[in-house]
Amino acid sequence: MANKMKTMRRKLEEITRQHKDFSFTPSSTTNDEQVTDTRETSSAVEEALVVGRTGEKQKILASLSSENLTREITILPIYGFGGIGKTTLAKLVFGDAQFNDYSRVWVYVSQVFDLKKIGNSIISQVSNGDSYIIQNQMINKRLQELLAGRKILVVLDDMWRDRDNERQLEDLRAMLRVGEGSKVVVVVTTRDEAIAKELCTIEPHKLAPLTDDMCWTIIKQKSAFESKDCKEQLEHIGRCISMRCGGVALAAQSLGYMLRSMTFDEWKSVRDSDIWNVSATRDARSPQHKVLASLRLSYNSMPPYLKLCFGYCATFPKGYNIAKGGLIHQWISLGFIEPPSILSTWQLSENYVRQLLGLSFLQVLKSPSVSRYTIQALTLFFF
């Protein structure tokens, strides 16, 4: 195993070197981009179909109530694992009557961060104008004119980090700070805790996974369970299947759609199968493929060193209880941690652990004395 990982490290280093030498830029025709394109969201939501999340919604609304909005700009990020329901929760907040006297703007940010696009989107939604402003300076000026003295709610949905643009978040915050007399409330959704922590002006909201019961409710909705025969036996099977969703709404929804047209025996096969097995889901249209492709975006967005360290974690069995100290020792002895200039190898390793926790790829196990983690089970199927 150690040799395998070392070879993998050498290969990754070689790829990184070639990437730099040949000045490759990401192509817009890769599969990843296609997934990104279909991810665009709008604020529309059918509230009746949303399972749970009422407590979370109330908590967010309370922290955005007028008595808590003491500054001219308030930024509240919602972060959590891919497909867990961040956008859905943001939609519930966006549509709430608490913001009836606000101008509301919904911006889908996407993996390609474009400050001009965000600025222009806000301007066009507030003013109903359709001219595109090119200069940043003019965008800021126009926003200040338009938003002076107004209350505005902006949702920035699906924020990622552009690794070549260190000023990305700073510039975004500066653009949204439109001056005294205005009340700007910004709700950001992101998979990345680090983005949430950097952008927030109030405590960000970490969105917890749904319970197995909630996943089962979603599966029932999507599979038209009520119209099926032998519901009692089917429920037993369905509940087993819902436990395989790991609290991820997207997984429950996709499985529900798939089960809709299936017979009793086919439900049993799904229960007994390795549902998320990548090799068994070559069909790009299959629900499993879509879920894994969506989750894989997070993995693809990781820098190479983090991919390598996570890849090593994925060699542990599912549900394995990983001790932080042991993991870091193994990373270091395998040579995964480059000798750094400022931080010690140990500090750098701790930083990598934090990044993996921030992406919810690693999850903290509650333990009294030591830091222990497990891997988010769905990510194991990337390998």
Ligand X SMILES: Nc1ncnc2c1ncn2[C@@H]1O[C@H](COP(=O)(O)OP(=O)(O)OP(=O)(O)O)[C@@H](O)[C@H]1O
Binding site for ligand X (CB under 6 A): 49-53, 82-88, 158, 189, 191, 218, 249-250, 253, 294
> Inter-axis angle of helices 304-313 and 2-21, to 10 degrees?
160
Hey, how many other C-beta atoms are within 10 angstroms of the C-beta on 97?
A: 7
Partner that binds at residue 192, options ligand X, Mg ion, none, CB closer than 5 to 8 Å by kind = none
Q: Which is nearer to ligand X, 8 or 377 (CB)?
A: 377
Q: Which is nearer to Mg ion, 158 or 193 (CB)?
A: 158
Report, in Å, the least distance between residue 343 CB and Mg ion.
Answer: 32
Report, in Å, the least distance between residue 36 CB and ligand X.
Answer: 10
Partner that binds at residue 50, options Mg ion, ligand X, none, CB closer than 5 to 8 Å by kind = ligand X
Distance CA 274, CA 18 (A): 37
For residue 32, with 0-12 CB atoms within 10 Å meaning exposed, 13-18 middle and 19 or more buried, which class applies? middle
Residue 72: C-alpha distances to residues 137, 153, 180, 261, 351 (Å): 20, 12, 6, 52, 33
Report, in Å, the least distance between residue 190 CB and Mg ion.
Answer: 9
Partner that binds at residue 147, options Mg ion, ligand X, none, CB closer than 5 to 8 Å by kind = none
Q: What is the dihedral of CA 84, 85, 87, 91, to 10 degrees?
A: -170
Partner that binds at residue 110, options Mg ion, ligand X, none, CB closer than 5 to 8 Å by kind = none
Distance CA 32, CA 309 (A): 22
Distance CA 182, CA 365 (A): 43
Q: Which is nearer to Mg ion, 12 or 208 (CB)?
A: 208
Report, in Å, the least distance between residue 321 CB and ligand X.
Answer: 26
> Inter-axis angle of helices 249-260 and 231-242, to 10 degrees?
150
Q: Which is nearer to ligand X, 52 or 204 (CB)?
A: 52
Partner that binds at residue 85, options ligand X, Mg ion, none, CB closer than 5 to 8 Å by kind = ligand X
Q: Which is nearer to ligand X, 85 or 311 (CB)?
A: 85
Report, in Å, the least distance between residue 88 CB and ligand X.
Answer: 3
Distance CA 165, CA 362 (A): 26
List interacting residues with Mg ion (CB under 5 A): 86-87, 158
Residue nearest to ligand X (CB): 85
3-state SS, residue 104:
strand
For residue 54, with 0-12 CB atoms within 10 Å meaning exposed, 13-18 middle and 19 or more buried, which class applies? exposed
Report, in Å, the least distance between residue 97 CB and Mg ion.
Answer: 23
Partner that binds at residue 222, options ligand X, Mg ion, none, CB closer than 5 to 8 Å by kind = none
Report, in Å, the least distance between residue 89 CB and ligand X.
Answer: 7
Q: What is the dihedral of CA 365, 371, 376, 377, to 10 degrees?
A: -70
Partner that binds at residue 253, options Mg ion, ligand X, none, CB closer than 5 to 8 Å by kind = ligand X
Name the token pair of 194: 């680090």
Q: Which is nearer to ligand X, 9 or 57 (CB)?
A: 57
Q: Which is nearer to Mg ion, 158 or 192 (CB)?
A: 158
